Amino acid sequence: MAENAEEQERIGREIETMRQRLDRLKRNQAVLMGVRSALIRERGEETARATSSVPVESSAPTEGATIREQKAPGRAEARGSRGGAKGTRPTLVDMVCSHLSEQSEPRSAGEVTEDIARSSPDRQAKITVVRATLESLVAQGRVRRSKQGRSVFYSSTTPSDGTPSAH
């Protein structure tokens, strides 16, 4: 009888631990879904801005053009011209990389977001999008991540002079 009670108690603790773990996973999923939604919204806004800023020479479809090309003029051109030609806006990736390469100290995602907003008031980058951009750059090896306690800081792997820095 005592063994039965002990077993029930042990299983009860395991169930409670699993419930807590499930709750944590659900919260993490909600956060990730929010980040995903923000990224999708931001990508859609950037695509809309990019395609609306590309001048269309003619509204008539070119001979031999596909239906997709006729419906979305300039999309490929907008993708290829970001950040290079006059009048085009740099991508968020370009802005983040440029900003970090100019810094002498690592910066948090919040600081990067604030600095970009200050230097480019027309950009409405959200911290979730900037953080996702930073993590993507970390995965590509273009940005280095460091932790100090519970805080995460980012620094460029290429300083402003263009030479790769030592890890």
Task: Please give the chain's pLDDT, 167 residues, in tens.
Answer: 899 999 999 999 999 999 999 988 888 888 888 888 878 877 776 666 665 554 544 444 444 444 444 444 444 434 444 444 556 778 899 889 988 999 889 999 999 999 988 888 887 889 999 999 999 999 999 999 999 899 999 998 876 555 555 44
Q: Which residues have C-beta within 8 Å of that of residue 136, sequence separation ≥ 6?
A: 93
| pTM more than 0.75 | no
